[in-house]
């Protein structure tokens, strides 16, 4: 009861703040692209990431990192540049004033999504309203589903697209890191394509599977990133001291806190006080478990870096069907590159980015035994990072849709994702046999 009153209080405070607080501005914040060459340089950046929470590391200084993106306030610029110069680290300024890019991001002020308009980012209300309209427009095919409730009491709203019973499922999770706005945007585009595309291939995959789609799995963070602080990544639950938020993609109950997570509540990759300590991960995982044996493919969308990641995040060892997953992933990324030339790297989490555990895909893979599980790190490779210009929403979405079709196609070639259609095919065979017998 007391908890409820406290959270109601914080929720009301949040609403008050949405109305009265000044939005944080990133004037003259500089985005650096740093090119560490030696292990010493890498470990220096790692220490900086750990100890200097004034610097916002957009990518982690992992061994073999080709580049590391860091956002610095005007106040911290000089000391950061000094450190880089002293240690002969090559760097360039990717954006000299990130606020300018934020101003160009173009967020639709309308509370409704406009059909066919993919050159703008949408707020949570607009997205959620749109999901409701889909259920009306495609009644009998689309139902609104709930993956639980956030700390501040917002629903984790999604849609299920289903053209009939007894189908295997594809699960899509977006927006677990709130500042990665291209993730919900791309997921919404995919949803729209599945429902309205005239492309036969898209229509076929839309019909062959039940699609469970959640564009914004961290709704509180998403609202905060729109209304108050553009670079917000975690959820919004107060933790220890003055700290707020847990990294929801370090909070799943798989090798929790083993690697690439922080125990510091102020850190952006704070894993929380325990596995599934957060209402968002707890309720979403419960939802996933309720349909776990149906899921043939699980896709999680993040940005940025142009990577397609495969479990697990604790080791570079190939585990389970890693080689099949890698083969399918590489084919899909080849197809992704056709339309605009966008290049992705495919690999397991540990080798492609970082030893990082407690993420959703590892849990889904091990606990629910889902055969194919991928995490997309969408565009770009650091030029704009999280502040991807709105004119890139459509191309990013289109190339991603291309890749999903190829992913499914290639998976089927290797014997995955066939159970639904095999049942269909054998029923058809039986009917044919019956008819021929009758004749
Ligand atoms: C940003 O930098 C410019 C150029 O140095 C300066 O004129 C301006 O006042 C700065 N803006 C803010 C808000 O600090
Ligand atoms: C990594 O995690 C997987 C899945 O939990 C487990 O099977 C494997 O033994 C772990 N490997 C290491 C080196 O911790
Ligand atoms: Zn992310």
pLDDT score of 349: 80
- Tell me whether domains 30-103 and 112-429 share a fold: no
pLDDT score of 402: 98
413 in active site: no
Judge whether residue 218 has pLDDT over 60.
Answer: yes
Which one of the ligands is nearest to 300 CA?
Answer: 3
pLDDT score of 243: 96
Mutation pick for ligand 1 pocket among 28, 30, 102, 103 (CB with most ligand atoms within 8 Å): 28
Longest dimension (CA), the chain: 87
pLDDT score of 372: 98
- pLDDT, averaged across the chain: 92
88: left (phi over 0), alpha (psi -120 to 50) or beta: left
pLDDT score of 432: 56
**CB contact at 8 A, 370 and 295:** yes
For domain 30-103, the question of CATH label 3.30.70.340 is answered with yes
pLDDT score of 214: 98
**Cα dist. 429→166, 422, 435 in Å?**
18, 10, 10
Domain residue limits, the chain:
30-103, 112-429
pLDDT score of 9: 61
For strand 169-174 and strand 295-303, is the pairing parallel, antiparallel, or unpaired?
Answer: parallel
pLDDT score of 2: 52
SS (H, E, C) 172-228: EEECCCCCCCHHHHHHHHHHHHHHHCCCHHHHHHHHHCEEEEECCCCHHHHHHHHHC
- Residue nearest ligand 1's atom 5 by CA: 28
Q: What is the pLDDT of residues 108-156, one digit of tens each?
A: 777 788 888 999 999 999 999 999 999 999 999 999 999 999 999 999 9
Mutation pick for ligand 2 pocket among 252, 259, 312 (CB with most ligand atoms within 8 Å): 312
Q: Say yes or no: CB of residue 259 within 6 Å of ligand 1.
A: no
Q: Say yes or no: CB of residue 28 within 6 Å of ligand 1.
A: yes
Only one residue has tokens 């999901």, namely 131
User: Confidence class of residue 248 from pLDDT cuts 50, 70 and 90?
Assistant: very high
**CB contact at 8 A, 404 and 332:** yes
Bridge partners of 32, per DSSP, are 70, 93
Q: What is the pLDDT of residues 282-316, one digit of tens each?
A: 999 999 999 999 999 999 999 999 999 999 988 88
SS (H, E, C) 16-55: HHHHHCCCCCCCCCEEEEEECCCHHHHHHHHHHHHHCCCC
Whole-number percent of the chain with pLDDT over 70: 90
**CB contact at 8 A, 260 and 60:** yes
Pick from 27-31, 93-97, 116-120, 269-273: least confident: 116-120
Please give the torsion angle defined by the CA atoms of residues 121, 344, 178 and 57, in that order, rounded to the nearest 10 degrees.
Answer: -120
Q: Distance from the CA of 245 to the center of ligand 2, in angstroms?
A: 27
Over range 426-434, report the average pLDDT. Answer: 55
CA distance 136 to 268: 39
Over range 182-205, report the average pLDDT. Answer: 98
Choosing among 3.40.50.970, 3.40.630.10, 1.10.3720.10, 3.40.50.10860, the CATH entry for 112-429 is 3.40.630.10
Burial class (CB in 10 A: 0-12, 13-18, 19+), 323: exposed
Q: Chain-centre distance of CA 235, in angstroms?
A: 14
pLDDT score of 64: 81
Q: What is the pLDDT of residues 178-192, one digit of tens each?
A: 999 999 999 999 999
**Cα dist. 288→214, 272, 368 in Å?**
11, 21, 8
Whole-number percent of the chain with pLDDT over 90: 80
Long-range contacts of 159-166 (CB under 8 A, 24+ apart): 159/131, 159/134, 159/135, 159/191, 159/211, 159/213, 160/210, 160/211, 160/212, 160/213, 161/191, 161/194, 161/195, 161/206, 161/210, 161/211, 161/213, 162/210, 162/211, 163/206, 163/207, 164/207, 166/420, 166/423
CA distance 376 to 355: 16
Q: What is the pLDDT of residues 148-180, one digit of tens each?
A: 999 999 999 999 999 999 999 999 999 999 999
Q: In terms of Cα–Cα distance, which of 131, 141, 292 is closest to 206?
A: 141
Sheet holding 155-161, edge to edge: 142-149, 155-161, 210-214, 169-174, 295-303, 372-378, 307-310, 345-348
User: Confidence class of residue 68 from pLDDT cuts 50, 70 and 90?
Assistant: very high
**CB contact at 8 A, 378 and 302:** yes
CA distance 289 to 228: 34
Over range 209-221, report the average pLDDT. Answer: 98
pLDDT score of 161: 98
- Residue nearest ligand 2's atom 14 by CA: 314
Quick one: tokens of 380?
């770009």
Check residue 108 and report its DSSP letter.
Answer: -
Judge whether residue 4 has pLDDT over 90.
Answer: no
Catalytic residue among 351, 366, 377, 399: 377
Q: What is the pLDDT of residues 381-428, one digit of tens each?
A: 999 999 999 999 999 999 999 999 999 999 999 999 987 554 444 555
Q: Say yes or no: CB of residue 27 within 6 Å of ligand 1.
A: yes
Q: Tell me the CA end-to-end span of the chain in Å, nearest whole number.
A: 71
CA distance 333 to 342: 9
């Amino acid at each position: 009861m007391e908890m409820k009153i406290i959270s109601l209080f914080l929720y009301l405070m949040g609403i008050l703040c949405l109305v009265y607080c000044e939005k944080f501005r990133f004037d003259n914040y500089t985005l650096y692209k740093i090119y560490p060459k030696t292990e010493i340089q890498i470990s220096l950046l790692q220490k900086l990431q750990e100890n200097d929470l004034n610097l916002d590391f957009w990518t982690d200084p992992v061994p073999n990192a080709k580049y590391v993106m860091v956002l610095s306030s005007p106040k911290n610029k000089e000391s950061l540049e000094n450190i880089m110069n002293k240690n002969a680290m090559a760097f360039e300024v990717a954006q000299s004033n990130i606020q300018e890019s934020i101003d160009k991001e173009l967020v639709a002020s309308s509370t409704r999504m406009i059909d066919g308009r993919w050159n703008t980012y949408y707020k949570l209300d607009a997205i959620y309203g749109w999901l409701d309209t889909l259920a009306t427009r495609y009644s009998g095919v689309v139902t609104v589903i709930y993956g639980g409730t956030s700390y501040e009491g917002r629903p984790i709203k999604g849609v299920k697209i289903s053209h009939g019973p007894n189908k295997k499922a594809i699960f899509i999770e977006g927006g677990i890191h709130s500042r990665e706005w291209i993730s919900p945007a791309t997921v919404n585009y995919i949803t729209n394509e599945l429902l309205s595309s005239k492309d036969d291939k898209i229509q076929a995959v839309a019909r062959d599977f039940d699609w469970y789609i959640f564009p914004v799995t961290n709704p509180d963070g998403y609202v905060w990133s729109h209304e108050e602080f553009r670079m917000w990544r975690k959820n919004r639950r107060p933790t220890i001291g003055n700290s707020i938020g847990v990294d929801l993609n370090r909070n799943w109950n798989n090798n929790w806190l083993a690697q690439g997570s922080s125990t510091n509540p102020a850190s952006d990759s704070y894993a929380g006080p325990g596995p599934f300590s957060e209402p968002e991960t707890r309720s979403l995982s419960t939802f996933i478990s309720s349909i776990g044996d149906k899921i043939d493919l699980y896709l999680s969308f993040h940005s940025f870096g142009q990577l397609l990641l495969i479990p697990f995040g604790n080791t570079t060892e190939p585990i389970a069907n890693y080689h099949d997953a890698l083969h399918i992933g590489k084919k899909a990324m080849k197809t992704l590159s056709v339309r605009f030339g966008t290049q992705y790297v495919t690999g397991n989490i540990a080798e492609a980015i970082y030893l990082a555990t407690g993420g959703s895909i590892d849990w889904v893979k091990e606990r629910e035994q889902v055969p194919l599980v991928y995490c997309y790190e969408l565009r770009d490779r650091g030029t704009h990072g999280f502040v991807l210009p709105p004119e890139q929403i459509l191309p990013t979405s289109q190339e991603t849709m291309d890749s999903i079709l190829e992913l499914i196609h290639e998976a089927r070639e290797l014997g995955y994702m066939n159970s639904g259609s095999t049942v269909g095919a054998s029923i058809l065979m039986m009917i044919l046999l019956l008819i021929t017998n009758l004749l």
